[in-house]
Amino acid sequence: MSPLLILIGIIVLLIAVDAARHRVLFKMGFRNILRRKTDTVIVILGLLVATAIISSSFSVGDTMENWIESEILDDMQYTDVTVYNTTGQGTYVPFSYEYYRELRADIMEVENVLDVVGEVHGRISVFDPASLLSRSDIPMMGMDMDESDAFGGFFVDGVEIQPSLNEGEIMIDRRLADDMEVGDSLILFSVGHPMGRVYNVTQVIDNRGRAAFGGPGKVIMNLNDSRMAMSIPGHLNFIRITSVGGVEDGALYSDQIFRDVDEILKAEQSILEARENKNELLEEFKGMMSMFTDMFFVFGSFVIIAGIILTINIFVMLGEERKSEMGMSRAIGMKRKHLRRVFSYEGMIYAGTASAIGALVGVGIAYVIFLLLEDIFAVFGGDVSFLSYFHVSPDSLILAFSAGFLITMATIFFTVFRISKLNIVRAIRELPEPPVTKSSRKPLFMAVGSIALGFLMTLAGLSTPQLWLPVTGVSLILIGGGTIARRWVGDRIAYTLVGIFLLVWWMVPFEAVESFFDDYSAGMEMFILSGLFTVTAGIMVIMLNSSLIIGALDRIPESSKGGKAVVLTAVSHPMKEKFRTGMTMFIFALIIFAIIVMSMIVGIFNTNMDRMIEEQSGGYDMIGLTAWDRPIDDLYVEIEGRGIDPGHFQSIDQASLSMVTLADGNMDSVIGVDRNFVRNNTFGFTEYHDDYDSVDDVWEALMSDPSLVVTNDPGEFGMPLEDPIGVDSVITIMDAYGEPREKRVIGLMDQFIIHGYFMSKEGVRSEFNTTSHNLFFISVGEGVDADELAREMERELVPFGFQPIVIDTVFREVMSAQFMFFDLFSGYMGLGLVVGIASLGIISLRAVHERRLEIGMMRAIGFKTRMIKYVFLVENSFITLTGIVLGSALGIGIGWLLWYDGFRPMGWEFYIPWGTIITIGIIAYLTMLVTAIPSAHKASKVSPSEAMRFD
Amino acid sequence: MSEAMIVSQKVHKYYEGGVRVHALRGVDLSIDRGEMVAIMGPSGCGKTTLLNCLSGLENISSGRVLIGGKDLNALSDNRRTELRALNMGFVFQFYNLLPVLTSLENVELPLLLAGKAKGAKAKAKKALETVGLGDRCHHRPPELSGGERQRVTIARAVVNEPDIIWADEPTGDLDTDNSERIMDLLCKLKEKNGHTIVLVTHDQMVARRAERMIYMENGLIQREQRRGDTR
């Protein structure tokens, strides 16, 4: 059982026992909930949002985990551990059948191993003469059909079959059959069949059982044919091991089997290595999937904060509503702890109900997220049916419920503690609390605490270079300083200055403080904190200078009869109730801020898309790759020989890509380029060695010295590395003969489209034993359709497994998916608007209730029904629009900061997506009206006589 | 010999805020056990403030208030609350009943707060019968008339058999008939149970039911008048 649930159980039990001992207080708390049912619905709606966000992020995590687990188990099926090795050219290392038999005998001795099979795996290209469709890089598995049933057999439409493949016969899986509309035969191209060989398709099998492995869309051959295809007669190149655990429980044994097999291989000094381990893969991918949960949680944190603010607002208002009753209760002998009890009982029921509903609503939100994610994945050509993997574990639901319940209860306890400290007489007579005097000691203590905490955080930032520590620390010192300064200059001047300083502090470009914080790292927490501090600062400035707003409105000439009276009355009220107004404005502003920042990023990316593509493409239109084992000597020759018009090409720069092992055992790639590439490419550099005056000098040096390399700037991949490669870094690469070769990095490229160490082609050929080309940088001629040409090249060059990538198309597709993710996160954060609207709804309903006397009086002195309605609409509009404008302004400000520090140095243009911002503002405003109109209508229905009788 | 139930010695009360208000300017007063005193005076003279300070609802700025010999200033907030729960009853102009509780539960509440849960319901019912609302036990305040609500408030004030009943404009929101009935009730209960009653009122008719009338002005007691005293 979840420890959180146990904690909740204890809390509920304690409160229940306490409630049994104080039945009247419990009765009061319970009946308070039933007092105004509309209010209750809105309160629950507002309180459930935080839980819903937590629950949805957990549900996303569960489903992604379920999906990846299913994918891995579907793919690996009975295979728990694999044994193989790869060459520097990316092909599998062959080994003799005799060696396999010996090794198999040893592995079969390992505990929990059920069976072992030896196979031939590889990548091939196929062409279907019937449909004329081709695929350049698909997996192939060659196997002895009779060898083992322990891997699950073969299936056609769910029915197990006993296939036998003769020479020239293959089986293909359903994915490949559907994808290529395969007929009776396929022409296969591979290293062993460079000119292609026709195979008859005997079965279209399910991708499960023994056929499952290496992903869908595959070809299965008999062992001899596969040896021919891979040109390794008498050899195998792949071993699969299955345990006694079966498909799912195999993961329980795979770690142990992996370890034991690894020991055997090391003891034998085998050329082979133990590679995939089912359990390790599951854990690794589950870890990657947790990133999704984290991202949704981070973006959802804005909504959770808004939910907490709403909870405070709700209970403060409930406290205000019952102020007189509480005062009387205190007068007749109720202690503060009794008041807290009443609210705690009430809060527990609210929190329990809202958290339970919120946990379920979160599941619904996650479902919608996956509906949208399917569309996003479809951009990449994926057809993942996430919804078929939709799964929410009871543990997650319990955890979401518990977290939501505890957050709500903690907020309620904190708020109620304040509420209970009322002055009895003022409460009974419903008099406003007097302003905190300048000489009050409590604010002074809080100021000292804030300054002390700020100093501690700033000091902590000296030893832990996390940017949020000093930035937040200085902000707390500013707030504390302002609280002390108010003793002399008053609230308005002190906190207005604090607000302005905070805004300036959080908007200062990093460039200005770079000398202090050069080594500091910053992450998503800065996004959240910047929102919290700037919105708080903005609200402080607005609320403390409300008289200026009212004064300005007062100076507006009367344009319609009673219009000015309506506006002044409408604006004065929220400005009088500073706390509740400020809190509601905060919610709107915070959510709008978060959405606008996202929109700004998308807008800046969109505006600079062409520039980005130009930078990333290095001046090329297309990049082409062949299969590892089928390089091309001269692409120009092949093009002419296969009937492709050479006039379609402006230039083709041919390069050699090799997979290499670094001294630390990691794999990486080396790209050998020639003078044509050096002449034609326009790749930029973020940094290069001082010894060189220009990028041309860098490339020239590279051409003449094989010990020099350039590589991608690690920052281009957005991955924080412990020891990132920099200019002058020296890396050691093992050459084709196992000898270490030291390479000095002389430049960092400003591109992430192709990764590796660029060096001279001659150097790559001599050190890594490549003789041909497998990587091509292509520029198409004027007016040539790159996508069409790419399709033609893929089709005509299928024997080489040629895969063209049209940079512009792929880039826009990737960015489009990225933007869809941003939109998804924006929509997710937009749920916070529900919180804002709920908050406004509560304020409106409360306002109608508490101002009935006043409304009656207004009606009596000449306010018409329509004008009363307008007062309430203008009041709500004022709060919402101020929140929207403030949030938008701050979002634009932080967006500018991101551009200034992050994109401006790259020469990117600044862009404000006014259209998106206005659309978001209108949506937020219109949804507010849905809540405001009923309460405005209700207010307008209050008759003067009824209101004067009100008590 | 009479016993002083409520004593105030040089009680001052300031309200801090934008402007400092000196609401009580050194009030000296002694009220005997079982006495009924009416405090009168123009609006803003400090009569309600005096009642709040004497009952411990508000802290005084200086001076002393003794209730049954106990110095209120020396008591913590909790001890003062307990003192109110055990020894005092309150009747206010706007009733201030808890709308979520029935009449019976409202009346029962002080007993429960005073730790007298045993037989609380029966006592509350009896108190309601005493004020003539035995048949309204299960009605909630919004379902009662103003006069009825004030009678529930009186039942709530006396259920605990307190030494002192504080009444701030107890008839301020009622018509003449209902005002008469409420005052009759208070006097009857005083006679029967010996409560000390301190009431603040603007109404001469109500004040005349008290044994002593105290006139305040500018935060000070200007004069006193005993019933039957023609000066």
Domain ranges of chain A: 1-75+289-434, 81-244, 435-544, 547-622+806-951, 632-773
Test the A interface: residue of B47, B96, B148, B164 with most A CBs within 10 Å: B96
Report the distance separating Cα A655 and Cα A671, nearest Å: 7
The pLDDT mean for chain A works out to: 86
Range of weakest confidence among A345-354, A534-543, A551-560, A881-890: A551-560
Q: How confident is the model at residue A291 (pLDDT cuts 50, 70, 90)?
A: confident
- Give the per-residue pLDDT at B231: 53
- Give the per-residue pLDDT at A950: 45
Q: Which residue from B minimizes the CA distance to A32? A: B100
Quick check: is B178 in a domain? Answer: yes
Test the A interface: residue of B98, B108, B116 with most A CBs within 10 Å: B98
The 10 Å Cβ neighbour count of residue A913 is 20
Residue with tokens 């200055």, as numbered in its chain: A497
Look at B16 and A334 and tell me if their CB atoms are within 8 Å. Answer: no
Is residue A272 over pLDDT 60? yes
Measure Cα distances from B16 to A274, A439, A445, B19, B22 in Å.
81, 11, 20, 7, 9
Does residue B90 belong to the interface with chain A, where contact is any CB pair within 8 Å?
Answer: yes
Look at A328 and B92 and tell me if their CB atoms are within 8 Å. Answer: yes
Look at B78 and A24 and tell me if their CB atoms are within 8 Å. Answer: no
Question: CA nearest A623: which of A785, A779, A815, A789?
Answer: A779
Could you read off the pLDDT of A448-477 as tens digits, one per residue? 999 999 999 988 888 888 888 999 999 999
Q: How confident is the model at residue A141 (pLDDT cuts 50, 70, 90)?
A: very high
Does residue B80 belong to the interface with chain A, where contact is any CB pair within 8 Å?
Answer: no
Look at A35 and B100 and tell me if their CB atoms are within 8 Å. Answer: yes
Percentage of chain A lying above the pLDDT 90 cut: 35
Measure Cα distances from B170 to A293, A427, A511, B67, B149 in Å.
62, 18, 70, 22, 11
Contacts of residue A439, Cβ cutoff 8 Å, sequence gap at least 6: A487
Look at A332 and B58 and tell me if their CB atoms are within 8 Å. Answer: no
Q: How confident is the model at residue A136 (pLDDT cuts 50, 70, 90)?
A: confident
- Give the per-residue pLDDT at A664: 79
Contacts of residue A748, Cβ cutoff 8 Å, sequence gap at least 6: A685, A686, A687, A688, A710, A711, A712, A713, A714, A725, A726, A727
Could you read off the pLDDT of A375-397 as tens digits, one per residue? 777 765 556 677 888 989 888 89
Could you read off the pLDDT of A841-856 as tens digits, one per residue? 777 777 787 777 778 7
Is residue A329 over pLDDT 70? yes
Identity of the residue in B55, B82, B98 whose CB atom sits nearest the CB atom of A329: B98
Quick check: is B54 in a domain? Answer: no
pLDDT block averages, 10 residues each, chain B of length 231: 84 81 92 92 90 90 92 88 87 79 88 82 90 88 86 88 89 81 86 90 87 92 80 53
Q: How confident is the model at residue A1 (pLDDT cuts 50, 70, 90)?
A: low
Range of weakest confidence among A103-107, A250-254, A661-665: A661-665
- A575-585: buried (b, 16+ CB within 10 Å) or exposed (e) per residue? bebeebbbbbb
A137 and A205 Cβ atoms separated by less than 8 Å: no
Look at B18 and A327 and tell me if their CB atoms are within 8 Å. Answer: no
The 10 Å Cβ neighbour count of residue A515 is 7
- Give the per-residue pLDDT at A720: 45
B157 and B184 Cβ atoms separated by less than 8 Å: no
Winning range, highest mean pLDDT, from A439-443, A865-869, A882-886, B113-117: A882-886
Q: Which residue from B minimizes the CA distance to A23? A: B112
Could you read off the pLDDT of A506-565 as tens digits, one per residue? 998 877 777 777 777 777 888 899 999 999 999 999 998 887 877 777 676 666 666 777
Quick check: is B62 in a domain? Answer: no
Range of the domain at B107: 36-48+77-226
Positive/negative CA dihedral, A755, A757, A760, A764: negative
End-to-end CA distance of chain B: 25
- Give the per-residue pLDDT at A951: 44
Look at B100 and A434 and tell me if their CB atoms are within 8 Å. Answer: no
Look at A332 and B105 and tell me if their CB atoms are within 8 Å. Answer: no
Higher pLDDT, B153 or A828: B153
Is residue A932 over pLDDT 90? no
How many domains does chain B fold into? 1
CA dihedral A808, A811, A813, A816 (to 10 degrees): -120
Alpha helices in A77-139 (DSSP H): 97-108
Mean of the pLDDT values across residues A298-303?
85
Does residue A425 belong to the interface with chain B, where contact is any CB pair within 8 Å?
Answer: yes
Mean of the pLDDT values across residues A901-909?
86
The 10 Å Cβ neighbour count of residue A292 is 17
Rg (CA), chain A: 35
The 10 Å Cβ neighbour count of residue A203 is 19
The DSSP output letter for A900 is I
Across chain A, which distance is largest between two alpha carbons, in Å? 106
Contacts of residue A13, Cβ cutoff 8 Å, sequence gap at least 6: none
The 10 Å Cβ neighbour count of residue A883 is 31
Report the distance separating Cα A513 and Cα A470, nearest Å: 12
Test the B interface: residue of A332, A334, A438, A948 with most B CBs within 10 Å: A332
A204 and A172 Cβ atoms separated by less than 8 Å: yes
Q: How confident is the model at residue A430 (pLDDT cuts 50, 70, 90)?
A: confident
**What residues does A172 pair with on adjacent strands?**
A204, A219
Could you read off the pLDDT of A278-287 as tens digits, one per residue? 999 998 888 8
Quick check: is B94 in a domain? Answer: yes
CATH code for the domain in which residue B135 is found: 3.40.50.300
- Which residues numbered 180-239 in A keep a CB inside 8 Å of some CB on B? none
Rg (CA), chain B: 17
**A594 backbone φψ class: left, alpha, beta (φ>0; ψ -120 to 50):** alpha
Identity of the residue in B17, B108, B173 whose CB atom sits nearest the CB atom of A435: B17
Measure Cα distances from A772 to A365, A733, B167 in Å.
53, 20, 105
Q: Pairing mode, if any, of strands B88-92 and B164-168?
A: parallel
Look at A437 and B16 and tell me if their CB atoms are within 8 Å. Answer: yes
- Give the per-residue pLDDT at A88: 64
φ and ψ of A86, to 5 deg: -120, 155
The DSSP output letter for A431 is P
A370 and A386 Cβ atoms separated by less than 8 Å: yes
Identity of the residue in B82, B86, B100 whose CB atom sits nearest the CB atom of A32: B100
Identity of the residue in A325, A332, A437 whose CB atom sits nearest the CB atom of B113: A332
